[in-house]
Structure formats: C-alpha cells, structure tokens
C-alpha cells in the first residue's frame, strides 16, 4: 500500500467515499469499478450505482461530469473551470459544459468573516472599519464579498477568504492526485489526456488564486495600465486592509454587463459598450501583454454611458513580446484571409514534434480556414476557429502555450458578450487597430535598433563564455570525468510489468517447491502423523493450495493471463 493510500485511509477516507458516492449517482459506476474503488462502498450502494448508470445514459458524459462537479463542491467547480481553458486536451463538448460551471455557493457565517479579518490584521474589526454589512453581496467557492466603509469614510468592498478553505482544497487535491494515479494505472487510454498533469496544473493555479496579495498586485497593474483611458474603471486597492486572506478595494457601482434590459432602461447604448469591451481586451493583449483571464458577465459592470469597470483579477494571462507578435500576425491574417501567413505563424508558434508531416498539417489547416471563411459572418466565431486549430494541433502533438489557451477562452466569452450586447459585433475588426499598431511598431526604427543591440549583446555573452566552456569540457575529458547520461522514456510501465511478472514467477516456484517437498514427505511416510498421513506433508499441501489460490486470484483480478 502506497503512502498516499495510507494517508487517504487515515485522514480523508470519508471525503473519498463521498466523492465516489456522488460520481456513482451521476452514472460513473463503470469507471469507479475499473479503478478498483467499489470496495469503499457497500453492496447496496453498488446495486444502486449500476441502476443509476442505466438511468443516466440519456445525458452525455460531459453533462454528467459538469453536474457531478457542481455537487462535489468548490474544489471541483474550480477544477472544471480551469479545465475549460484546455481545449488542447479535452473534447469540445466538455469545454462547453465546463464553461457553464458557476462559482456560486452558499455564504458562510458573518462571525467567521470577522474572525478571518481580525486574524489577518491582528486588530478588531471596529478598529479597522467604520462599518461592514453582514449580508454578502457575492459568495464564491474561495471567498465572499461584503460592503464596508473605511475609518476615513471611503466606500469599499472587502473580499474575505472562507475559513479553512486552504485545508479543504489541499485534501481534495490529494484525493484528485490519488484518483488520477488510479485512472492512469487502470485506464491506459486516459494517458493521452494526462490526468496527473491536469491535477498538478490545477494545484499550482488554485494556490496562486488563494493569495489575495497577488490579485491585489494585478489589480494595481491594470489600474495603472488603463489610467489614461476614461472609458475603463479599475478599482483602487486599499493596501492597509489587504493581506493573503482579505482584499479591500474601492466599491464599484454599476449594472452587470449582461443585464441588457436594465442597460437600455438607463439609456446605455449597448453597441458602444460592446465595442469598448472588445477594444479594451485587445489593448490589454497587444499593448500591455497582460489581460483579464475571466471575462464572464459577473466581472464586468457598466458604470456610465461609455464606461465599463473590471473586477476580480484572480485569473490573469501574460504574453511575452514574441507571443504578442504572433497573435498580431494571426488576426491580420484572418482579416486579410492570408492562408499562407496563418499557416506559417501557427507552425512557428507550437513546439513541433520531429516527425510531424508538415505538408499534411498545412493541408488540413488550410481546409479548416476555407470552411471558416466560406460561412456567413453571423455563423462564424473567431473563438471557435482558434479552438479548432488547438484541436488540430493536439492531434499532431503540437504543444500549445497555456496563455494562448486562456486567451481563446476569453475570446469565446467576449464573442458571447458582444453578440448579447449587439448581434453584429465583429471581434476581428475590433482587433485590427491594435494588431496593426503592434506590427508597425515591430518594424519601427526604435524596435529594430533594440533588436540589433540585443543581438550584439547575446553574441558578446556567447563569445565570452565559449572559451571557458570548451576548457571545462576538455578538462573533464582528460580527467575521465566526462559522462553522457541516457534517459529512457516510456519504459516505466514495462519495468513495472517485468517486476510484477518476476514476482509472480518466484511465487509460483515457491508453490511448486512446496508441492514437490510435501509429496516427498508423504512418499517416505516419515514424521508425526495426522489422519494416518505425515503431518508436514499435509501442512505443505495446505500452504501450497492457499498460496496457489491467492496467486490465481491476483492474476484474475489484474485481467492479464
């Protein structure tokens, strides 16, 4: 039994049983059975689970997974939301279902809010805030938000982390790691989806999201970036009331961007608002290289006739200069229908496997572009086109940068919002001024001079380091310390199977030896008797029989003969 299994059995077996029960309820009994976890539930639950599987067949696997995640609680809701940014791994139907996951959960008690604030700042709430409303304005899986007033009379909102949420998420992640390990072991076809990698990525992202000082820093950065644009409002951060588990920001009052009826009643031109949202996103992408990574309607408010406000910077995408330039080429290529440019850009963006068939890849990609440009505008979607490319790249084992996957999700959300506000909004047109500006800047005198200086500095560093490196290699070769390490890839399963096979063979030899030895003892009829036969011979046969049955059971359970 592995340490992880012992840890789970000791610390969190009840939570694991709860997860299994909910998964079975949503028709996942066959998977639970394949990964050998049915032993953790009772026989009546197994019977109910088989029946539920039949009843749930009317729903797709993607829908059942979303419903199960919603019932499993905060950690799994977050896990699904993060998986919605991985169209390179998951089928499109799963991505669409996971995008529906809403991070809305019941609020926690106000006395716990006070306790967290006082523990974070080592002062009583009365010393920190003039007033704070008991009823939260929003409650999510990690935190909830309350209106408050600072000691100097400023209207703010304070985002407070749920008590013990870190321990809860840690426990759930350990269970997810255990389940991922079992899935990889017992369901070999799952390895192409990299379950353990998914859980590892999720753990890193959720840990960052739970540190509110990081979110505060991003909020300040966005506020600074948009300080020259009166159309964009980013809340100010109150650092004296901000820590790892509490974040205090300027209170934003406005209308949620998807409340079309209220916007029109207030005299807001929704077409203008759709243009502003798109322009702001593409400015973040092409000018700042940092963009808001969660553009659902709850994070955008309309605060004036031509003004929007962004909140919640827990998920942020970052783009380096090379990625910005590649994206600029992509959007220009889409508008101009330049298939060759688009093909070249995508080929250089991914990390191409050595054995890729470039000619076939180009042909498939250009066929996909022809089908896209052949549709009427209202039936096209840039986000879906980017997702189609990601799936194509995945089939050719081209690794896509995570930031590009996150941007694709944002563009899908942007298109959904844009068409809700104004059916004829064109994301491609909105992107053009920023994409072309970046391309022009790339070939401007200042950029070319900077590139030349960077190249000279790189060559200077290389030429200075080269003699030293060659000298070190020669010294190692002369002193017989020069080694070349070979790393095997993909042989772990083979080595494990060889270990299991050798163990079973040894086990079988021991059983055979017991049978032969016992036969000899009985043949010579020596030693103490039992029922008229030598006792040691009978004992040997009994032990050999038990061990043989155990060996047969292990082989049958593994499903490999």
Nearest-angstrom CA–CA distance, 260 and 237: 29
Residues sharing a CB contact under 8 Å with residue 318, sequence separation 6 or more, in sequence order? 289, 290, 403
* CA-based nearest residue to 160, from 205, 214, 108: 108
* CA-based nearest residue to 22, from 61, 49, 56: 49
Residue 159's CB is within 10 A of a number of other CB atoms, namely 24
Nearest-angstrom CA–CA distance, 251 and 230: 17
Distance of CA 156 to the CA centre of its chain: 31
Element (H, E) at 131: strand 129-132
Nearest-angstrom CA–CA distance, 291 and 299: 13
Q: Are 309 and 327 in contact (CB under 8 A)?
A: no
Choice among 88, 294, 312, 329 that is catalytic: 294
Residues sharing a CB contact under 8 Å with residue 246, sequence separation 6 or more, in sequence order? 116, 117, 120, 121, 158, 159, 160, 161, 212
Across-strand partners of 248?
158
294 is catalytic: yes
Residues sharing a CB contact under 8 Å with residue 501, sequence separation 6 or more, in sequence order? none
Nearest-angstrom CA–CA distance, 21 and 49: 8
Residue found under tokens 């896509």? 400
- Please list the active-site residues: 294
């Amino acid at each position: 039994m592995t340490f992880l299994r012992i840890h789970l059995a000791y610390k969190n077996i009840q939570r694991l049983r709860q997860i299994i029960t909910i998964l079975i309820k949503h028709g996942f009994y066959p998977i639970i059975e394949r990964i050998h976890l049915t032993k953790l539930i009772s026989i009546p639950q197994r019977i109910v689970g088989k029946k539920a599987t039949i009843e749930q067949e009317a729903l797709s696997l993607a829908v059942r997974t979303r419903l199960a995640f919603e019932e499993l609680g905060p950690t799994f809701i977050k896990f699904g939301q993060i998986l919605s940014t991985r169209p390179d791994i998951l089928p499109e139907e799963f991505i669409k279902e996971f995008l529906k996951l809403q991070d809305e959960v019941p609020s926690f008690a106000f006395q716990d809010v006070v306790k967290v604030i006082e523990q974070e700042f080592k002062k009583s709430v009365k010393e920190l805030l003039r007033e704070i409303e008991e009823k939260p304005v929003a409650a999510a899986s990690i935190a909830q938000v309350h209106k408050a007033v600072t000691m100097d009379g400023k209207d703010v909102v304070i985002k407070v982390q749920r008590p013990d949420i870190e321990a809860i998420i840690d426990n759930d992640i350990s269970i997810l790691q255990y389940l991922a390990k079992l899935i990889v072991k017992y369901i070999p076809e799952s390895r192409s989806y990299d379950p353990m990698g998914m859980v590892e990525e999720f753990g890193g992202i959720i840990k960052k999201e739970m540190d509110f000082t990081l979110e505060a820093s991003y909020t300040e950065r966005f506020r600074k970036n948009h300080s020259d644009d009166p159309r964009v409002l980013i809340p100010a951060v109150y650092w004296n009331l901000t820590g790892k588990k509490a974040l205090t920001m300027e209170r934003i009052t406005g209308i949620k961007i998807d409340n079309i009826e209220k916007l029109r009643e207030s005299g807001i031109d929704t077409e203008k608002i759709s243009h502003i949202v798109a322009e702001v996103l593409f400015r973040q992408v092409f000018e700042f290289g940092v963009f808001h990574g969660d553009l659902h309607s709850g994070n955008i408010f309309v605060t004036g006739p031509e003004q929007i406000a962004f909140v919640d910077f827990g998920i942020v995408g970052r783009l380096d200069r090379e990625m910005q330039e590649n994206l600029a080429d992509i959007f220009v290529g889409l508008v101009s229908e330049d298939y060759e440019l688009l093909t070249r850009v995508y080929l250089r963006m991914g990390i191409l496997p050595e054995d890729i068939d470039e000619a076939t890849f180009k042909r498939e990609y250009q066929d996909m572009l022809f089908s896209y440009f052949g549709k009427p505008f209202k039936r096209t979607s840039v986000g879906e086109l980017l997702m189609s490319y990601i799936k194509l790249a995945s089939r050719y084992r081209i690794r896509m940068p995570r930031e590009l996957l996150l941007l694709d999700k944002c563009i899908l959300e942007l298109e959904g919002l844009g068409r809700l506000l104004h059916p004829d909004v064109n994301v491609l047109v909105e992107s053009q001024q920023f994409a072309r500006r970046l391309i022009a800047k790339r070939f401007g005198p200042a950029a070319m001079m900077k590139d030349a200086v960077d190249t000279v500095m790189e060559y200077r560093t290389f030429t200075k380091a080269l003699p030293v490196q060659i000298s070190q290699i020669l010294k190692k070769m002369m002193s017989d310390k020069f080694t070349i390490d070979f790393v095997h890839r993909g042989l772990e399963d083979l080595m494990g199977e060889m270990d299991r096979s050798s163990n079973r063979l040894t086990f079988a030899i021991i059983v055979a030896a017991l049978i032969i030895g016992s036969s000899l003892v009985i043949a010579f009829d020596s030693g103490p008797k039992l029922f008229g036969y030598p006792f040691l011979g009978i004992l040997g046969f009994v032990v050999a029989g038990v061990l043989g049955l155990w060996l047969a059971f292990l082989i049958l359970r593994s499903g490999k003969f």
